Chains A and B, each alone.
Chain A
Amino acid sequence: MSQSIEPAIKIVHMSKSFGNIEALRDVSLEIYSGEILAIVGDNGAGKSTLIKILAGALTSDEGQIIIGDKSYNFLSPGRAISLGISTVYQDLALVDCRDVASNIFLGREPVYAGFLVDRRKMQKEAARILEGLQINIPSLSTQVGLLSGGQRQGVAVARAVYQGGKVIIFDEPTAAMGLQESAKVIKLLLKLREEGMAVIVISHNLNQVFEISDRICVMCHGQVVAICKTKESLPNQIVGLIMGATVKEAYNAAGVYSDEAI
Chain B
Amino acid sequence: MKQYKRFLMMWDQTFSQILLGLVLLITVILLGLASPFFMTWDNWRNILDQSALQVIIAVGMTFVICTGGIDLSVGSITALSGVCMAVAMHAGVSVEMAVFLGIIAGAIVGMGNGLLISRLNLNPFIVTLGTMAVVRGVALIITKGIPIYGFPREFTWLGNGHIGPLNPPMLMAVFIALLGALVLNQTKLGNYTLALGGNEEALRRSGVAHKLYKLIIYTICGITAAMGGMVVTARLNTAEPLAGSMFELDAIAAVVLGGTDMKGGRGSITGTVMACLLLGVLRNGLTILSIPSYYQQLAIGIIILVAIIISELRLKNAPGHGNTIYLGG
Interface segment, A30-38, A103-111, A217-225, A248-256?
A: A103-111
Within 8 A of B (CB), among A134-176: 143-146, 148-149, 152, 171-172, 175-176
Q: Which B residues lie within 8 Å of A146 (CB)?
A: 2, 5-6, 9, 319
Q: Is B266 an interface residue (CB 8 A)?
A: yes
Number of A residues near B (Cβ < 8 Å) is: 44
Query: In angstroms, how far is the closest chain B Cβ from the Cβ of A46?
Result: 10
Q: Is A131 an interface residue (CB 8 A)?
A: no
Q: Is A98 an interface residue (CB 8 A)?
A: yes
Within 8 A of A (CB), among B303-329: 318-321, 324-329
Complex Cα–Cα for A97 and B322 (A): 12
Does the CB pair A107–B319 fall under 8 Å?
no
Q: When A91-B326, A91-B327, A145-B324 are in contact, do A97 and B198 touch as well, CB less than 8 Å?
A: yes
Q: Which B residues lie within 8 Å of A172 (CB)?
A: 327, 329
Complex Cα–Cα for A47 and B9 (A): 36
Within 8 A of A (CB), among B184-214: 186-188, 190-191, 194-195, 197-199, 201-209
Complex Cα–Cα for A142 and B324 (A): 15
Q: Is B159 an interface residue (CB 8 A)?
A: no
Does the CB pair A77–B207 fall under 8 Å?
yes
Does the CB pair B205–A77 fall under 8 Å?
yes
Within 8 A of A (CB), among B256-272: 261, 265-266
Q: When A94-B199, A107-B206 are in contact, do A149 and B325 touch as well, CB less than 8 Å?
A: yes
Complex Cα–Cα for A96 and B195 (A): 9
Q: When A78-B207, A115-B187 are in contact, do A95 and B320 touch as well, CB less than 8 Å?
A: yes
Q: Which A residues lie within 8 Å of B198 (CB)?
A: 95-98
Q: Which A residues lie within 8 Å of B206 (CB)?
A: 77, 81, 93, 106-108
Does the CB pair B188–A95 fall under 8 Å?
no
Does the CB pair A117–B186 fall under 8 Å?
yes
B residues bordering A, Cβ < 8 Å? Answer: 2, 5-6, 9, 186-188, 190-191, 194-195, 197-199, 201-209, 261, 265-266, 318-321, 324-329
Complex Cα–Cα for A210 and B253 (A): 58
What are 11 A-B contacts with C-beta separation under 8 Å?
A80-B207, A81-B206, A89-B205, A95-B198, A96-B319, A96-B324, A102-B191, A106-B203, A117-B186, A144-B319, A149-B327
Q: Is A90 an interface residue (CB 8 A)?
A: yes
Q: When A95-B199, A97-B194, A146-B6 are in contact, do A90 and B328 touch as well, CB less than 8 Å?
A: yes
Least CB separation from A145: chain B residue: B319
Q: Which A residues lie within 8 Å of B325 (CB)?
A: 149, 152, 176
Within 8 A of B (CB), among A56-110: 56-57, 76-82, 87, 89-98, 102, 106-109
- Name the contact of A82 in the complex, choosing from B5, B199, B207, B327 (C-beta under 8 A): B207
Complex Cα–Cα for A152 and B318 (A): 16
Does the CB pair B320–A115 fall under 8 Å?
no
Least CB separation from B8: chain A residue: A146
Within 8 A of B (CB), among A114-133: 115-117, 119
Does the CB pair B188–A57 fall under 8 Å?
no
Does the CB pair A78–B320 fall under 8 Å?
no
